[in-house]
Structure 1
Amino acid sequence: MTAPTPPTPPFRDPRLPLEKRVDDLLSRLTLDEKTAFLHQFAPAVERLGVAAFRTGQEALHGVAWMGPATVFPQAVGLGATWNEDLVRRVGEAVSKEARAMRARDERVGLNVWSPTVNLLRHPLWGRNEEGYSEDPRLTSAIATAYTRGLRGDHPVYWRTAPVLKHWLAHNNEADRDTSSSSVRPRVLHEYDLRAFRETVEAGAVAGVMPAYNLVNGRPNHVSPYLAEHLRAWTREELLVCSDAGAPSNLVDSEHYFDTHEEATAAALRAGVDSFTDHGTDSTKIVARVRGALERGLLTETDVDTAVRRQLSVRFRLGEFDPDPAPYAGTADFDTPEHRELAREAAEQAVVLLGNDGVLPLAPDTRIAVVGLLADECKLDWYSGTLIHRSTPLEGLYERFGAARVSFAEGVDRVLLRTGDGRFLHVPPSDGSASGARGAEGALDPALLAGRTDLPPLTAAADGTELALADWGEGVLTLRAPDGRYLSVAEDGFVRASADQPGGWVVQETFRLEPHGNGHLLRHLGTGRPVRVAADGVKVAADDADAEIFEPVVTERGEDAVARVAAGADVVVVVAGNDPHINGRETEDRTTLRLPAHQERLLRAARAAGGRTVLALVSAYPYAVDADAFSAVLWTAHGGQAAGTALARVLAGDVSPAGRLPQTWYADDGDLPDLLDYDVIGGRQTYLYFEGTPLFPFGHGLSYASFGYADLSARVGDGSVRVSFTVTNTGDVTADEVAQLYGRAEEPSVPRPRRELLAHRRLTLAPGATAEVVFEVPLSALAFWDVAHGRWRLEPGPYALLVGASSEDVRLSATVTLDGEPSAPRPVRERGLAAADFDEQSGTEIVDRTRTAGDAVTPVAGATGELLYRACDFGRGVTGVTLTVAGEGSAEIALDGVPAAALATDAPTPGPYDYVEIGAPLAAAEGVRDLRIRLRGTLRLAHVGFSG
């Protein structure tokens, strides 16, 4: 007799609602099994037929770290397209490739940690390449488009499950795991939260990843904002994945908790559902969770909540369906459509910053292309491996013909002479990694920095001429004639073994340091100098054992540039950065200026007498002398089609229409401190900056011209309808990005000079006209009213500004809106939350407790001042009470007149041990401005009034 077929468990039944399926599977798991799910690498549960699962697959501009894949432009380049439809299609292609790659390799994950929606507040941030824009609305629009592409359009199942990075207010790499971003409530709501909120509310986000930093003194991994804001924006079960190593940082570097059990419990209760820590080793996290359970710091319900959120994502990915989910059979990988999309995205990302008419280049132009990036197709930390490759030089060869294009990289060519008169010598490779360019132009993929089977460098009478590239601040790369970069492997030997600088620790960078009668060659990856030993060149134990080298320059880069430029009509200088050097994850930039070596190449190109085009290929803005060039273009590193795209724009096959997604400042002096997160008080980004930018937010030129007309603005029920026409008045088909900005004309508090409300990228043939209509919700013009702790639309006139950039306004209209008038703060009844100030100086916001609330304290060594405008004391109060911790004093003034002085008798036992101190308050009646001056280590949480 045949045994009966066991019934299908409910969690395997796709006819049931997803919530019931999740609940059924959760009920079948033991506490130990659920606990094991809390680590990034969740093990299989064989008795239930549940496979292993891991959160996390990088997919910022293509599937990363898992081998060959289509590589699209960097995220900041996608932001520069201002084109949601394009970015949605890119997200769709990336998610299809993730599915196709997973079919071949189960290590490829479907929970993708992308996109990054941190705002590009500060252009020296090392991870500028990962964000979309300094503007929250543009960031949200692009991020929403990308996540919709990643998710797919099925009503139930998701192609991939995107997680937004990095929650919250994260814009510095220096001390990123210990620094705190002081974020006042208006900045929090109007700026940092907004970028996340609008994307989450759009419904295509699976979760978020908290950032390494602290916000207002509290680590993001125990942030109350996860519950108060993030999870309030949607009914979906959002998955919160920790950043790598961040759970341990709560104790090890931040010292926020005494034990890892406390830290893990706090993070789990705050809303972290998956712990990315200790790589694939889950034992430490599991032990910490078990310890927290045993100590009563966690309950099984807390664990269930996190596991339910994980399972919700896994069900949406179709993992538990008996038949393949709709996306399981996706096989689209490196298709002609994906290659074409990569080229289209790279073309649309090019921004023409200036042009005196030299562009587009005529077909018979003799072109000299020079610069460190002229024959490079650079990848970054979050790139996949190139299948196809196109450099600017290759693109120009293809478009204009090799006979019309001459080339000089512009690096210095050097021999490194040892103290005994020999020279560094690069032995031939062993044939398995010849260093020759393949059919697609890439070096042999076997060239890896960690290889130890290639012969190390030696010292010999016939030295090898090395290409020395100076990337700024003395950071050098050295390359053999066949294209191999010098690199150091774990065994300490120096080999020519890398096709590009790269890796978490870059092993291909060096510095020549003056020493005695010569120079030390210091390897920056290890921090150790190089020496010549009998068995080859290697890093030394210390400086005393180092080799003294004399660089012998055989050709200066400037001379090579001058030579090829002399016979050209136009010199195209391709300058910029290597995404792994001097500005990347873990390393902020120090200046907006180009490296000195590249500045010298620019001067040499200009001195040749021809017309000079500067093509900046970089992950971030630069401060350059734009007037010194006939034309200036910028593009982010554009992925596999970067060179073809740039050449087509230079030739006029494509009219450039990228627009700057962030302000380009003219000088380092225009920048705030990197850790000043107060965009309002610090007058940061185009929203508040009052200086003259090098190039403004939204700027970008075209080979066509466009006319704007027929502006109409009509206020309706809950929105304002804005319409206008755009006409291509040029003689080529081109794209224009029409931009709508708004500005409160009579604000009661500091408001943006103008803020982006809507935009649209249009394609218009010569003479064609298109009507553009925007329906702008009135809520887009509201601000966070700190006096009452809510959003408020202020009544009065608002300017609506239409044009081609934030500064190039072509049309304007004014509408008068009804709203809620300002009202004084009801301080007599409610007192004042210390962080709800209108203005401040010399203070920072800190955590009131480890779990919730804010306090304000003077910056170390400073006297802090807080201003609260229009405080309503009614018929009068007679006393003031401050809720404080720490030690110090406070002075209170009303309308500038001293009214009270208070001080602590002794320091409180700890920073969270608050006491109340009080004093009489003179002349406190009616509506007055209140100013508080803080000294010492006082942490002020609340101000109360009595009498």
Structure 2
Amino acid sequence: MSTDQPPFRDPRLSARERADDLLGRLTLDERVAMLHQFAPAVERLGVPAFRTGQEALHGVAWMGPATVFPQAVGLGATWNDDLVRRVGEAVGREVRAMRARDPRVGLNVWSPTVNLLRHPLWGRNEEGYAEDPHLTAALAGAYTRGLRGDHPTRLRTAPVLKHWLSHNNETDRDTSSASVRPRVLHEYELPAFRGPVRTGAVAGVMPAYNLVNGRPNHLSPLLAEELRTWCDRDLVVCSDAGAPSNLADSQGYFADHEEATAAALRAGVDSFTDHGEDSSVVIARVRGALERGLLTEADVDTAVRRLLTMRFALGEFDPEPADGASDAAFDTPEHRALAREAAEQAVVLLKNDGLLPLAEGVRVAVVGLLADECKLDWYSGALLHRSTPLDGLRKRFGAEGVTFAEGADRIRLHCAGGRLAVPDTGPGGDGGDPGDPDDPAAAGALDPALLRGRTDLPPLEVRAEPAARDTFALVDWGGGVVTLRAECGRYLSVADDGRVRASAGQPGGWVVQETFELRPHGGGHLLWHRGTGRYLTVAADGARVAADGEEGTVFTVETVERGEDAVRAAAAEADVVVVVAGNDPHINGRETEDRTTLALPEQQDRLWRAARDANPRTALVLTSAYPYAVGDADTALPALLWTAHGGQAAGDALAAVLAGDVSPGGRLPQTWYTDDADLPDLLDYDIIGSRATYLYFDGTPLYPFGHGLSYTSFSYGEATASHDGRTLTVRCAVTNTGEREGDEVVQLYVRAADVAGPALPRPHRALAGHRRIRLAPGASREVEFTVPLSKALGHWDVAHGRWTVAPGTYGVEVGASSADVRATTTVHVDGEAPGPRPVADIAAADYDEQRGTELVDLSRERGDAVAPTGRGEAELVFLSCDFGSGPGSVTVRAAREEPGEATVVLHPEGAASIALAVPSTGDRYAYTTVRADLPEPPTGVGALRVTLRGSLRLARLGFGDPSSAEST
């Protein structure tokens, strides 16, 4: 190496040493500029520009064609760590290959999403792996290991986990607060992140838009208190897009942006994704905060050092290997085969009464709105290859043996001047080929050309006489939301000029311009465009959305053909019917929009019923990003399957499973409930109190977590379990007792059977291990699980603020799902039983049970308090409190912003209640201590019930020395 090169150019030094050297050479202005997502070049030092952020959830996204793997929830359904690692490896290699030809492709990848699928109505359900923290952590760790690569110091890519923390709602996502009690935080939310971080493959995290316990995630003290203690890597925290501005704007958490920016930087945010490529706004805010003394240069340096360390680890300042070897690969045969393998392993057989697999020579009717679709989502790349269920089945069984009926209603729209029609003259009047890979519309939602639609096609017009292109395929996606597709194969869409054209290959874009609602009006219907919030009107110059104050055109809908009739006719002529139903990932459940129901859209419900009525040998395939409540279909049909949108090989993979070439082995990564009534409120994050997910759900699900059938059968031998005080070891032999080769997902669950301590709500059972194995007919394998004992059996002890394993007996269960346990045993853990709760100083947030409360921010920086959610009484319960020989006084630490008083009433078990009045403190963060003597002190060990009346924030309470509750 040349001696005139500075140390930051020396690859023999560590990334941290090189980052420190370069940091010392940068001016303050140059360092501040690096805090923005688009960091400029420093030409005088030969430092290139750098961008944080490259989406790569299930393939490289937003950068054009790339290998498209199944959605993340589909990868979750594989329950296969090794497969998901190989997918991550392939995606990382494609990132490198695409980067080599396009410098806009970033190496800091914002993937995977590890938010737990707590609630199936979450609009971004497709982005997560599972509702269980163990499974999510295992798969996220596998994916990030693949993305990162195997080099000991150099990163293939730098993965960032999304979204820290407790983020499962799109409704009011930037202003809503998730109330997360300590047990849910430590037992459920944090493990999903901690697992992959501890593998050493994670480069950082992205905070979520929402608030947790009243504090924006971009100010989360847990970034320092938890995240950055889990590994010795300089983890980078990248903000979500626009979130730093939300702190002072939509959230109103700070009075101005300089305060907000300073607080986020001090909390641990290193890279600010805000105002697109314009870094000047963020730079001005940081400089203003420095001038006001809200930040120091050391605060800036801490963040920039982390960012530079990541860049050095990516090899940004190093030459490529001398031999020219490269880690890059793109659209290789191996990647294509892997996409097919992943799609096959993601298929879950929900029910089968012998209809499947399909026999050779069978005549198959493939019907349904998704039967000839290969849908993408917001985080997909553009397709290099495409396979629909219809494609796959025709390839497998022959075109002559497979018939097709989509099932869309064919309609005409009549108005005063005639019929709405697609022009058959002018540029592009024929609509072109919607499957043309060179066509911008064919690239899906991620091509910028689709964000407002095309303008090179003529708008729709009204024809007085019957026209060749006046019929549209109407699909009702539920909730009154419809799409209209012209005969040329393109969807009606609205461009920037407000014109309505048949211009989109698929619905898509950040604002979907291809969705409408037919609203009854004056004996007909108005056609309301959801993207612009305006009605469609027609004039001499064609169809467009109405201007302000302009009325929409009233249409009469003529149904030319009902979809059920076409499906019924196709089903009657076939030996077997395959109905393919599900969702479009851009409609009614997507980023920015939660679902409102588990129900299958009514039009699709009618289609499977029509098929069944014509031919009882009907299978329903649900291709969707989330679960449905399909109890009637489960009762009426002999076979049901589910798969997430499976990427480029989806159709071929499904056909292989239906034909029996591949025995299905996928398992559900989340509970499928029977009805909306089974669900908690979307914003209720307390899975313990709301009895949510398989861990706590007390009802009977339609299909349980971990469920999935096979074309073969498996038996389980006896389970054995032992531990050495540190590691739990479980063994069980599994045998393929059927006549086909197949995959079994062996699942290990644990539960507290008889343990010491207070009677706390514990999970029915919790997943502690899983293994997907392939066995030939008659073959057996002993499956061994080794799990850290504290991780498998422990819980968060709120009474003492620590993770603990209570002594006692624990059930150990091995089986094929959370509801299909095949072998059981127990283990006993010795040790000292947890003592009762000390009462001198109790944090209000450390309750055992609650009613009508929420957790809020104790201060803007850290800590939690408890507040009532409404005007009625709220209640907290603290179990097993040690009152000793009887304290003589009690104190509460609370704040009340409003005028007047609130009341805290303490009800110690076995003693008289006492009420304490909390006066107005004038500010939500101004706490006061209220003390009272206890005329009848409680003694011994018992429960404490606390009633809250009125608006207040309760921080702490204590019995005995009043000084014990002074600190907030």
State the TM-score, normalized to the length of structure 2.
0.95
Q: Secondary structure at the match of 2:629?
A: coil
2:763 is the counterpart of 1:760: no
Q: Is the 8 A contact 1:389 1:441 kept in 2?
A: no
Residue of structure 2 in register with 1:581 after alignment: 587
Which secondary structure state, in structure 2, belongs to the residue aligned with residue 549 of structure 1? strand
Partner residue in 1 for 2:815: 803
**How many residue pairs align between the two structures?**
941
Residue of structure 2 equivalent to 1:871: 881
Tell me the secondary structure at the aligned position of residue 932 of structure 2: strand
Tell me the residue number matched to 2:826: 814
1:913 equivalent to 2:902? Answer: no
**Residues 437, 247 of structure 1: CA spacing in aligned structure 2 closer, same or farther, 3 A cutoff?**
closer
Structure 1 residues 846 and 444, CA gap change in structure 2 (3 angstroms): closer
Rounded Cα–Cα distance in structure 1 between residues aligned with 2:279 and 2:150:
34
- Distance in 1 separating the partners of 2:323 and 2:509: 36
Residues 1:495 and 1:328: Cα distance change in structure 2 (over 3 Å): farther
Q: For 2:594 and 2:261, locate their aligned partners in 1 and report how far apart those are by CA, in whole Å.
A: 30
Aligned residues: CA RMSD: 1.7
The residue number in structure 1 matching 2:234 is 237
Q: How does 1:171-210 map to 2 (within 5 A)?
A: 171-210=168-207
Partner of 2:515: 509
C-alpha deviation, 1:857, in angstroms? 0.6
1:928 aligns to what? 942
Q: Which of 8, 11, 16 is the aligned partner of 2:8?
A: 11
Map of 1:304 onto structure 2 = 301
| CA deviation string 1:665-701 (max 9, x = no partner) | 0010000000110011111100011100000000000
Secondary structure class of the residue paired with 1:160: coil
Taking a change above 3 Å as real, the CA distance of residues 433 and 348 of structure 1, as seen in their structure-2 partners, is farther
Q: CA deviation at 1:127?
A: 0.3
1:462 to 455, 461, 466: 466
Structure 2 residue matching 1:552: 3-state secondary structure: strand
Q: In 1, distance between residues paired with 2:777 and 2:820?
A: 21
Please give the alpha-carbon distance, in whole angstroms, between the structure 1 residues aligned to 2:832 and 2:165: 30
1:897 Cα deviation after fit: 4.8
Note if contact 1:657-1:735 (Cα within 8 Å) is conserved in structure 2.
yes
Alignment of 1:114-513 (within 5 A): 114-324=111-321, 329-427=326-424, 430-431=427-428, 434-436=431-433, 438=435, 445=443, 448=450, 449-460=452-463, 461-463=465-467, 464-513=470-519
CA distance in 1, matches of 2:733, 2:79: 19
Q: Report if aligned partners of 1:163, 1:209 keep a CA contact under 8 Å in 2.
A: yes
**Counterparts of 1:808 and 1:177, CA distance in 2:** 40
1:766 offset after TM fit, Å? 0.5
Change (3 A) 1:847 1:937: same
Point out the more displaced range, 457-466 or 41-50: 457-466
Moved more, 537-546 or 495-504: 537-546
Question: Which residue among 510, 525, 529 is the counterpart of 1:523?
Answer: 529
8 Å Cα contact 1:318-1:324 kept in structure 2: no
CA distance in 1, matches of 2:889, 2:871: 29
Alignment match, 1:553: 559
Equivalent AA in structure 2 for residue 462 of structure 1 = P
> Aligned AA for 2:60?
V
Distance 1:632 1:471 in 2: 20
Please say if residues 417 and 424 of structure 1, whose CA atoms lie closer than 8 Å, have aligned partners that are also in contact: no
Q: What is the CA–CA distance in structure 2 between the aligned matches of 1:249 and 1:416, rounded to whole Å? A: 43
Q: In the alignment, residue 875 of structure 1 is paired with which amino acid? A: S
Q: Secondary structure at the match of 1:112?
A: coil
Distance 1:255 1:898 in 2: 43
Q: Is the 8 A contact 2:244 2:260 kept in 1?
A: yes
C-alpha distance in 2 between matches for 1:867 and 1:481: 64
- 1:329 Cα offset (Å): 3.1
Q: Which amino acid aligns with 1:562?
A: R
Alpha-carbon distance in structure 1 between the residues aligned to 2:166 and 2:401: 49
Residues 724 and 771 of structure 1 are in contact (CA less than 8 Å); yes or no, is this contact kept in structure 2?
Answer: yes
Q: Distance between the aligned counterparts of 2:305 and 2:772, measured in 1?
A: 41
User: Which residue is equivalent to 1:48?
Assistant: 45
- 1:34 has 2:48 as partner: no
Alignment partners' CA distance in 2, 1:481 and 1:426:
11
Match for residue 891 of structure 2 among 865, 881, 889: 881
Give identity over the alignment, percent: 68
SS in 2 for 1:512: strand
Q: Residue in 2 aligned with 1:722?
A: 730
Q: How does 1:765-784 map to 2 (within 5 A)?
A: 765-779=776-790, 780-784=792-796
Alignment-derived partner of residue 104 in structure 1: 101
The offset of 1:434, in angstroms, is: 4.5
Q: Structure 2: how far apart are the matches of 1:417 and 1:433? A: 22
SS in 1 for 2:650: helix
Cα distance, 1:536 vs. partner?
1.1
Alignment match, 1:568: 574
Could you tell me which residue of structure 1 aligns to residue 965 of structure 2? Answer: none
Give, in angstroms, the shift of residue 924 of structure 1. 2.1
SS at match of 1:123: coil
Checking the alignment, whether the CA contact within 8 Å between 1:159 and 1:327 is kept in structure 2 is no
Taking a change above 3 Å as real, the CA distance of residues 805 and 429 of structure 1, as seen in their structure-2 partners, is farther
2:966 aligned residue:
none
Task: Give the whole-Å Cα distance in 1 for the aligned partners of 2:743 and 2:153.
Answer: 36
CA contact (8 A) 2:377 2:586 kept: yes
Q: Deviations over 1:709-763 (max 9, x none)?
A: 0322122241221111111111111110001100110243111100001010001
Which segments of structure 1 move beyond 6 Å, counting only runs of 4 or more? 325-328, 439-443
In the TM superposition, what whole-angstrom CA distance separates every residue of 1:345-389 from its partner, at most 9, and x where no partner exists? 000000000000000000111111111100000000000000100
2:964 paired residue number: none
Alignment-derived partner of residue 541 in structure 2: 535
Unpaired stretches in structure 2, ≥5 consecutive residues:
962-968
Show CA shifts across 1:774-810 (max 9, x none).
1122112100000000011011111100110011011
What's the secondary structure of 2:888's corresponding residue? strand
What is the letter of the counterpart of residue 637 of structure 2?
F
Contact 1:435–1:499, Cα closer than 8 Å, also in 2: no
* Structure 1 counterpart SS, 2:382: coil
Cα separation, 1, equivalents of 2:325 and 2:501: 44
**Worse-matched range after superposition: 702-711 or 51-60:** 702-711
Deviation digits for residues 77-118 of structure 1 (CA, Å, limit 9, x no counterpart): 000000010000000000100000011100000000000000
Letter matched to residue 940 of structure 2: G
Aligned to 2:89: 92
CA contact (8 A) 2:424 2:430 kept: no
Contact 2:422 2:459 in 1 (8 A): no
In structure 2, C-alpha distance between the alignment counterparts of 1:729 and 1:428, rounded to whole Å = 65
Counterparts in 2 of 1:322 and 1:566: CA distance versus 1, 3 Å: closer
Q: Is the 8 Å Cα contact of residues 885 and 908 (structure 1) preserved in structure 2?
A: yes
One-letter amino acid of the structure 2 residue matched with residue 610 of structure 1: P
**Alignment gaps of 5+ in structure 1:** none
Q: Residues 219-251 of structure 1, C-alpha deviation per residue, up to 9 Å, x if partnerless?
A: 000010000000011111000000000000001
Structure-2 separation of matches of 1:93 and 1:941: 50
Name which of 859, 868, 891 aligns with 1:858: 868
- 1:482 positional shift: 1.9
Show the counterpart of 1:734.
Answer: 742
**Partners of 1:99 and 1:327 within 8 A in 2:** no
CA contact (8 A) 2:904 2:918 kept: no
Deviations 1:328-350 (A, max 9, x none): 83341011110000000000000
Cα shift at 1:827: 1.2
2:715 match: secondary structure: strand
Partner AA of 2:702 in structure 1: L
Report how far residue 542 of structure 1 moved: 4.6
* Aligned mate of 2:79, from 79, 82, 95: 82
Q: Residue 751 of structure 1 aligns with which residue?
A: 762
Asked if residue 705 in structure 1 is aligned to residue 713 in structure 2, the reply is yes
Amino acid at match of 2:895: A
Letter in structure 2 aligned against 1:920: D
TM-score, L = length of structure 1:
0.98
